[in-house]
Structure 1
């Protein structure tokens, strides 16, 4: 058989396949894109805590007298005004005796001064004796005034709030007998509150006094601005977290004990700002796609600001190449794409 006759059928058989290959369109995915931009982002340390009174402003109410609590007029958590009665206290009889003795000493000292003055007028007492008697009188008057201020002269003492605030704790009960200088209750100024926040030990080293914080009520409500007041150096044995203190606005309507999330700005960093929908994740971590000549290329990134519609990422992005926003879930590295026109 003529070899030429064999070549012609083979060529005719291959021609339709080659033509079909030329007519088959290449596979591509339609996507929408956005341009990445450099932006300043805050690195955040997050933690949860609760509103409590500022321990530096707590006021302890006590009496320098022994006695018995006969009536409690407030309860824990109650808001009180300055001068509002808190409790009624009955002083021990011994305190009354001390006051009566001070009064008796004052009466005798006054009589002694009058006698010394008369003798001095007759030149029967010296100037030194007169001065000593006057000094004794001044001491006796001061002692009586002190006992009156302490309440020794009264058997029934109504203790009033020295400041406006909130009753934080009550350490006594009605009928209880207490020693002198015993703390009866504690008041905290209503406007001086803070948030005690627990943070992970690994994050605590990144915190510094003065850093800004956003306070978000756990059960909804407006966000408040605060600042880091104190950083902790030890792990709380109960929570296994490090406690830090964050200030809060005086007018924030958050009662004591309210649960709050604190977002503390630990540092600022320059990162790429991209739409949230552009960032994907798999077993290797976060990534996105950039388009170069209608081909998608995977770029591994690290999230530094995962909140908001625009998120911050670190990675080898190219400023001139757009990132895929919609359609990225269908892509693989090196796949052809078609950019959807507006």
Structure 2
């Protein structure tokens, strides 16, 4: 056994005493130093992060309970001018539509002089009716007027001659009276004939279909060669002055909020263009079946405003000063709408509110706030009355 041990020691001795032994020892020391350094860095990192967390948790307050106080965003809404907007739908129409038919005895239409979309003046001829027979009647009556006037002149001349002879005694006072009566009768026949002629000419003028006022022709339902009479119905439809309107259908509640003269924005279906007008009439009655009323909006003429078309209206019914909150600030439950306000002790308190107008800008508060309160903007659903919070004030600028 001693021989083997010596033999092994003899084999190892050259390896420990050779030139490579120091370099191997240095490598081991370097590795050990690196491992130690890594252990120190890991320990520092672990203990340092723990201290930071402890400091962060202890920062809001002195005790452990203070670390549980939530941070909540609040705002002071103030009071803003908020428009009361009513929206509705309805149809476009002529503000003053004029149906035009046959005013005279009618006959065969010879010419139609206008088309839908034409602008015409007051009294302008829209269509003409054959008047060949009526023209002959007028000529006959005109001749009768001329005959009556000739007879009246003769009667006047004879009366004057007789008056000259009266002073010489050649005619009597009775002859003068008779010639005076003859002259008066002749003049009366002239007036009758002239009246008959004027009547006939007036009838003939009524054969023409004329515009009762200046405006825009909307429809035409007559063609040349058509026989028309007083029973033919409407031949043309016109918009007086080209004025248009929208007849907005609104609920009974909304009708009560709209006043004459308020501005309106009208957008026809299929168009992105908005037309400005104003309410010129609010319906004095409500339909008992639909519980709706009609609000009429005056509009200026535009080719895109076609009577019979459909449109939407945005009516500014008024404005009032009120607090304006984001939708996230207003909560509701079985007791109604409410918000959370912050008291002097930084505790939230429930405040019942009445909601007004709701728009893209936010929710108007009609009652319950004066605008000076600090109101919880969000996270109200996770709070309880009396709970203390750490508020962060948000500016009201939008």
* Aligned equivalent of 1:185: 236
CA distance in 2, matches of 1:80, 1:243: 29
CA distance in 1, matches of 2:200, 2:361: 69
The alignment status of 1:231 with 2:283, answered yes or no, reads: yes
Does 45-54 or 120-129 show the bigger shift?
A: 120-129
Structure 2 residue matching 1:69: 3-state secondary structure: strand
> Within 5 Å, which residues of 2 pair with 1:1-342?
22-23=63-64, 25-31=67-73, 33-39=74-80, 41=82, 43-55=84-96, 58=98, 60=100, 62-76=102-116, 78-82=117-121, 86-91=126-131, 93=133, 95-123=134-162, 126-151=179-204, 159=209, 161=211, 163-180=213-230, 183-204=234-255, 206-207=256-257, 210-218=260-268, 219-222=271-274, 224-235=276-287, 241-249=292-300, 254-264=305-315, 271-275=322-326, 278-280=329-331, 286-292=337-343, 293-309=345-361, 311-317=363-369, 319-325=371-377, 327-328=378-379, 331-334=382-385, 335-340=387-392
- Cα pair 1:113 1:133 within 8 Å, conserved: yes
Structure 1 residue matching 2:389: 3-state secondary structure: strand
TM-score in terms of structure 1 length: 0.72
TM-score in terms of structure 2 length: 0.64
Structure number with larger C-alpha Rg: 2
- Judging by fraction of residues, say which structure has more helix: 2
Q: CA deviation at 1:75?
A: 4.1
- Cα pair 1:59 1:188 within 8 Å, conserved: no
Q: How many residues align?
A: 313
CA distance in 2, matches of 1:284, 1:143: 85
CA distance in 1, matches of 2:305, 2:136: 49
Compared with structure 1, are the counterparts of its residues 259 and 213 closer, same or farther at alpha carbon in structure 2 (3 Å cutoff)?
farther
- Judging by fraction of residues, say which structure has more strand: 1
CA distance in 1, matches of 2:341, 2:208: 77
Compared with structure 1, are the counterparts of its residues 296 and 257 closer, same or farther at alpha carbon in structure 2 (3 Å cutoff)?
farther
- Alignment deviations for residues 172-206 of structure 1 (CA, whole Å, 9 cap, x no partner): 454332225865323212442222111113443x1
Q: CA deviation at 1:267?
A: 6.1
Structure 1, unaligned runs of 5 or more: 1-18
Please, what is the CA RMSD of the aligned residues? 3.8
